[in-house]
Amino acid sequence: MELFQRIEKSKQTVAIGFDMEADNIGDFKNGKISIIQIKLMDEPAYIIDIHGSQIDLKCTRFNEVMKSTNIETIIQDPRNDSKMLYEKYRTELKNVFDPQSFQMTVENKSDPTLTTRRLQGKRKSLDFIYEKYVGPFPNKHLKEDMKKQMKSKDQSPKLWMKRPLTREMALYAATDVETLLPIRSEMEKYLSQMDETKRNGFEKTFKELCIESIYTTDHVAKRKIMMRKKEREYEEASFLQKSGISLSKAEGEIIQSLRTPRSSYTFSPTRRRKQSPYRLRAAKEKQRKTIDRKCPDVKTGPCQAEGISCKNNSEDQMNDVSAIESATPNQENQEFRSLQLPVSSRHSPSRVIRRNLNKLSLADEISQNKSSK
């Protein structure tokens, strides 16, 4: 699209406001992006209908714009938006300014007892941040009405899947993205009033929070981000502990995990499974069922010359084997068991019968050797 090409070709650093509306924005597999909103300086807000016009953003310069380090993307709470954009269009956000993370950093630096971990559950809305830094939020009543409709479960189809877009829907979407650039300029003024030392510490924490809120697939970068996040949370929890403030269960676990050295994991020796006395009996029963199923009356193998059916021959052989086992001592019985082969149902009937005859011959040899001794 021409809009993305114009933004990308800009030689100066550009700040754009970005927002999107979707159905089930937290569900990355089944969710659907409805519209995206883009706001440039001194230009009206652009609303791009993704769902209605079936635009594939991968075929445009949208991904290049979002990846560019010369383009600062101002987006409110990009956690769900960044992941959904990546799942749908493989879009990676790079240079992001998150007003919500900025407000969290302000509260953390003004009161160190409000750690970034505790502030995660106290995130501020866009209208709260706008009223704090700029002034009264425009069309606030419309925003509240639209939020009630979006939370309603009676919408069928979902609100942002309806076409054409109503005037209220378009006004709500444009208002959200138009408030981002004024917030960015006022926050820059807030930073300019700080000392250089405080500003460096503020920007460090703010950039870390912005990076943590962006979805990334680079495992090396993700590991570095998580390690730095854990270090920061450990420093904050240690400060709370020194100040005599009671820690939460999660904060106590963070301190404990980083203080205790990790012991090398040793594999325990494997234990041999005890031979069950019922395994031999079960093998015999399985063998008997296999012969009954595969050759009830068919003459195969050595039985064919003698004119004996497989079923009768196998039963006689099994009885002979059990008689030999009962007659021999325990030691002989163990030797005989060690000579038995495992039973498998994939063997052919002739092979099963031949194996039974081999067992009988081996049993006879054992008994003869014992009697000669």
Which domain, by its residues, includes 222? 218-258
Question: Are 212 and 228 within one domain?
Answer: no
CA–CA dist 124, 106 (Å, integer): 12
Say how many domains are in the chain.
Answer: 3
Q: What is the mean pLDDT of the segment spanning 9-26?
A: 83
Question: Are 185 and 116 within one domain?
Answer: yes
Of 34-43, 86-95, 257-266, 332-341, which range is least confident?
332-341
**Res. 277: pLDDT tops 70:** no
Question: Are 116 and 223 within one domain?
Answer: no
Question: Are 206 and 295 within one domain?
Answer: no
Q: What is the mean pLDDT of the segment spanning 157-161?
A: 82
Nearest-5° Cα angle at 14, 8 to 20: 80
Residue 212 contacts residue 77 (beta carbons within 8 Å): no
High-pLDDT (> 90) share of the chain, %: 35
List the beta bridge partners of residue 17. 39, 74
Tokens 């099994």 belong to 318
Q: What is the mean pLDDT of the segment spanning 63-70?
A: 89
263 occurs within a structural domain: no
The pLDDT value recorded for residue 204 is 93
The pLDDT value recorded for residue 266 is 42
Q: What is the pTM of this model?
A: 0.67
Question: Are 306 and 180 within one domain?
Answer: no
Query: Which pLDDT band, with edges at 50, 70 and 90, does 325 fall under?
Result: very low
The pLDDT value recorded for residue 6 is 79
Of 150-164, 176-190, 304-318, which range is least confident?
304-318
What DSSP string runs through 328-364?
Answer: S-HHHHHHHHHHPPPP-TTS-HHHHHHHHHHHHHHHH
Question: Are 25 and 102 within one domain?
Answer: yes
CA–CA dist 344, 348 (Å, integer): 10
272 occurs within a structural domain: no
Which of 24 and 38 is assigned the larger pLDDT?
Answer: 38
267 occurs within a structural domain: no
Mean pLDDT of all residues in the chain?
A: 79
Question: Are 207 and 231 within one domain?
Answer: no
Of 53-57, 150-154, 263-267, which range is least confident?
263-267
Residue 65 contacts residue 48 (beta carbons within 8 Å): no
Query: Which pLDDT band, with edges at 50, 70 and 90, does 353 fall under?
Result: low
Residue 23 contacts residue 160 (beta carbons within 8 Å): yes
Question: Are 114 and 170 within one domain?
Answer: yes
Residue 14 contacts residue 70 (beta carbons within 8 Å): yes
Question: Are 16 and 91 within one domain?
Answer: yes
**Res. 356: pLDDT tops 80:** no
Top mean pLDDT of 53-67, 193-207, 311-325 is at 193-207
The pLDDT value recorded for residue 269 is 44
The number of helices, as runs of H, and strands, as runs of E, in the chain is 18, 5
89 occurs within a structural domain: yes
Structure tokens at 280: 């031999």
Question: Are 285 and 223 within one domain?
Answer: no
Instruction: Say which residues have a Cβ less than 8 Å from residue 295's Cβ, sequence separation at least 6.
Output: 310, 311, 349, 353
Residue 126 belongs to what H/E stretch? helix 126-133
The pLDDT value recorded for residue 363 is 65
